[in-house]
Structure 1
Amino acid sequence: MGQVVTIGLDLAKSVFQIHGVDAAGEVVIRRQVRRSQLLQFFGKQPACLVGMEACASSHHWARELVALGHEGKLMPAQYVKPYVKRGKNDAADAEAICEAVTRPTMRFVAIKTPEQQSAMMLHRVRLVLCRQRTQLSNALRAHMAEFGIVAPVGRLGLERLLEIVADAEDHRLPVAARTCLRMLAAQLDVVKAQVLENDRKIMADARRTELGRRLMEVPGVGPVLASALVAAVSDPGIFRTGRDLAAWIGLVPRQNSSGSKERLGSICKAGHRYLRQMLVVGAMAVIPHAERSAKQRPWLTQLLARRKAKVAAVALANKTARTVWAMMITGARYRAPLAA
């Protein structure tokens, strides 16, 4: 047997499966390694190509292996699955990873730095906090509706309900119910404060980098989206064109084509859900301005005349993603389109 040149590493919580082959493709290593022994094992191996599926801890292990002199490659799990021959176990997964990482057409995931992971964690925590804020607001409205107390939709309506909960002289609420609702109101105040603090950190993160400041010049790209783009797209060079970035985000139509028949459907909704959501929301904010000044954006105005606003927003989000990729690659600033 020759020297190992390629290793497929199936990551897990405590037990990792390793599958290594030599230059001729012969199996050299097939074994399990405990978490505490993983770095020690790779420290004794010669520099080789190590493939892993992109998952929760993959970026950490990729950085550790690169520090030991190996070449770490991360791949989307859905691209590795076709190489699993039969059955589902750790050994078969590691063998599939070892084979997939050597394919010339394989698409890889850029290894994120700890700073980029920390910035992306701000956005994930923001989603959790916003979801909790919505849950608490809905719970307050539902419980008070049981006593015939309702308020208009929106922040002002919720403030009216909170005033009723705080007013002990309002006898429409029983004492036991008011005690429970005050617990929810206190929890809602804590979550609101945490959301504001999180937003301040995201804005500071967006302004901290030169790229983030340039991206905020694009219409529809605010501090939240700019920070998320810098954190999620760690290496724009892995995308050949801006269309590839838009496809990775999931802003391209789903295809069901065969032969000369080309069938395009709605967007595929694959890829980065958070970036797609933020890009579409930003595009929806641009559309009212485009309708008021039709000469500034004739392309968008003509599209709005033929399609619904949400369809046009997805098309504009696709265009924004391609613009962002060009700015990342070239280092240029945003240039507004010339008026017709």
Structure 2
Amino acid sequence: MDAITIGLDIAKSSFQVHGVDASGAVVVRRKLARGKVLEFFRGLPSAVVGIEACGGAQHWARQIAALGHRVRLLPARAVKAYVARQKNDAADAAAICEAAGRAVVREVPVKTVEAQAGLALLRVREVLVKQRTMLVNALRGHLAEFGVVAPRGREGVSALAERLSDPAVPALAQAACAALVAQVKALEAQILALEARLRQRHAADPASQRLAAIPGIGLLGATALALGTEPGRFDSGRDYAASLGAVPRQHSTGGRERLGSISRMGDSRVRGMLTAGASAVLKQLSPREGQPPAALAHSALGAWALRLLARKPWRVVMVALANKLARIAWAVLTRGTAYHPAGRPGPAAA
């Protein structure tokens, strides 16, 4: 078999292979059991293997690449454009094979085991934070039905826990809400433990430390940018920011440019962290009445954001600042330089 491009549709236990030769003729089309996948690729000469970026794709990309093949992880949106008719495993594998042969389709980076483990810390923490929010909302809702309320924030949750024994709350409701409080405390302990592991990993990663020095990035954003993206694949910070979806969506024709809301392409987690960081920076630049301006206002980045705020809506500036942070992160990572508040590139710390 002389297949040079192979599309592999992966699942939990059933895998579909579609391969073509140099002329585009189909030379293999078959289904494989999970235990036979590596055996199949081990017996093939080096080929381009396309895999749709989905659950488990990173594992199979590393395993197949270790056998000497060139693996291309492809975004699901790019693969969908090549599905000819009905959706099934065979059609999906054929679409993946077609997309893998197209140089214009940008790949999803294959992550190392270490990077995947670091991202797992971030994503598990994200899940636990969501669960904590759900439990706190449930606790607030149940106690509000008995007239027990508290301010927002962590202090409010502590106040609610202290008021569980309020005479207005029946014994049955007290028992139910006590279970919620216990779960919240357990989740907080787990979240703190994960954050300690993230700080430990961050302390051993110079690139992550340089990113954390950028205003609005922080520990979580630095970890996500350092492990979840590959800025070296892009020729400029502008292209890097566009890959994260922090640019307007285009719908232009006939020489007329029409720009809409942001494209929201790329990693939504990284884009969300950049947007949240930009929001935090703008809040620092807009102190409450009577408070002195933040030191950030005297930096090149702060001055740029303030000039933009003077003529654009707050949310537009927030997205523009997120784009700016992505460009700065690209420069810091690709050039090995440290962030300088004055806007001048500085040497990375030894």
Normalising by structure 2, what TM-score?
0.91
Aligned to 2:315: 310
Residue 228 in structure 1 maps to residue 224 in structure 2:
yes
Aligned to 2:35: 36
Residue 246 in structure 1 maps to residue 241 in structure 2:
yes
Does the Cα contact within 8 Å between 1:53 and 1:97 map onto a contact in 2? Answer: yes
Aligned length, in residue pairs = 334
Please give the residue correspondences for 1:84-233 in structure 2 after superposition, counting only pairs within 5 Å: 84-165=83-164, 167=165, 170-233=166-229
For residues 188 and 177 of structure 2, the distance between their equivalents in structure 1, rounded to whole angstroms, comes to 16
The Cα shift of 1:289 comes to: 4.0
Q: Cα deviation per residue 1:111-141 (whole Å; 9 max; x = unaligned)?
A: 1011111111111111111111111111111
Does the Cα contact within 8 Å between 1:218 and 1:334 map onto a contact in 2? Answer: yes
- The correspondence for 1:326, drawn from 316, 320, 331, is 331
Please give the residue correspondences for 1:42-81 in structure 2 after superposition, counting only pairs within 5 Å: 42-81=41-80
For residues 252 and 189 of structure 1, the distance between their equivalents in structure 2, rounded to whole angstroms, comes to 40
Which stretches of structure 1, 4 residues or longer, exceed 6 Å deviation after superposition? none
Aligned to 1:19: 18
Aligned to 2:290: none
Q: Cα deviation per residue 1:308-336 (whole Å; 9 max; x = unaligned)?
A: 32321211110110111111111111122
Q: Cα deviation per residue 1:148-179 (whole Å; 9 max; x = unaligned)?
A: 112222222222111011x4xx4222211111
Aligned to 2:269: 274
**Structure 2 letter corresponding to 1:201:** R
Does the Cα contact within 8 Å between 2:4 and 2:19 map onto a contact in 1? Answer: yes
Between 1:147-156 and 1:216-225, the stretch displaced more is: 147-156
Identity, % of aligned positions: 47
The Cα shift of 1:288 comes to: 4.0
Q: Cα deviation per residue 1:8-35 (whole Å; 9 max; x = unaligned)?
A: 1111111111111122222111111100
For residues 31 and 211 of structure 2, the distance between their equivalents in structure 1, rounded to whole angstroms, comes to 45
**Structure 2 letter corresponding to 1:209:** D
For residues 204 and 130 of structure 1, the distance between their equivalents in structure 2, rounded to whole angstroms, comes to 20
For residues 23 and 273 of structure 1, the distance between their equivalents in structure 2, rounded to whole angstroms, comes to 37
Compute the RMSD of aligned alpha carbons: 1.7
Structure 1 portions without partners, runs of 5+: none
Between 1:304-313 and 1:72-81, the stretch displaced more is: 304-313
Structure 2 portions without partners, runs of 5+: 287-292, 345-350
Q: Cα deviation per residue 1:64-110 (whole Å; 9 max; x = unaligned)?
A: 11111111111101111111211111111111111111112121111
**Structure 2 letter corresponding to 1:210:** P
The Cα shift of 1:295 comes to: 4.5
Does the Cα contact within 8 Å between 2:251 and 2:258 map onto a contact in 1? Answer: yes
**Structure 2 letter corresponding to 1:322:** R
* Residue aligned with 1:4, SS: coil
Does the Cα contact within 8 Å between 1:48 and 1:71 map onto a contact in 2? Answer: yes
**Structure 2 letter corresponding to 1:65:** I
* Residue aligned with 2:310, SS: helix
Normalising by structure 1, what TM-score?
0.93
For residues 320 and 326 of structure 2, the distance between their equivalents in structure 1, rounded to whole angstroms, comes to 10
Does the Cα contact within 8 Å between 1:203 and 1:227 map onto a contact in 2? Answer: no
Does the Cα contact within 8 Å between 1:110 and 1:238 map onto a contact in 2? Answer: no
Q: Cα deviation per residue 1:174-226 (whole Å; 9 max; x = unaligned)?
A: 21111111111111110111111112222222222110111111111111110
Q: Cα deviation per residue 1:246-279 (whole Å; 9 max; x = unaligned)?
A: 1221111122222232221222223211111111
For residues 331 and 102 of structure 1, the distance between their equivalents in structure 2, rounded to whole angstroms, comes to 33
For residues 71 and 261 of structure 1, the distance between their equivalents in structure 2, rounded to whole angstroms, comes to 40
For residues 279 and 129 of structure 2, the distance between their equivalents in structure 1, rounded to whole angstroms, comes to 20
Residue 9 in structure 1 maps to residue 8 in structure 2:
yes
The Cα shift of 1:240 comes to: 2.5
Aligned to 2:289: none
* Residue aligned with 2:81, SS: helix
Does the Cα contact within 8 Å between 1:220 and 1:279 map onto a contact in 2? Answer: yes
Does the Cα contact within 8 Å between 2:148 and 2:163 map onto a contact in 1? Answer: no
**Structure 2 letter corresponding to 1:18:** V
Does the Cα contact within 8 Å between 1:212 and 1:226 map onto a contact in 2? Answer: yes
Residue 264 in structure 1 maps to residue 263 in structure 2:
no
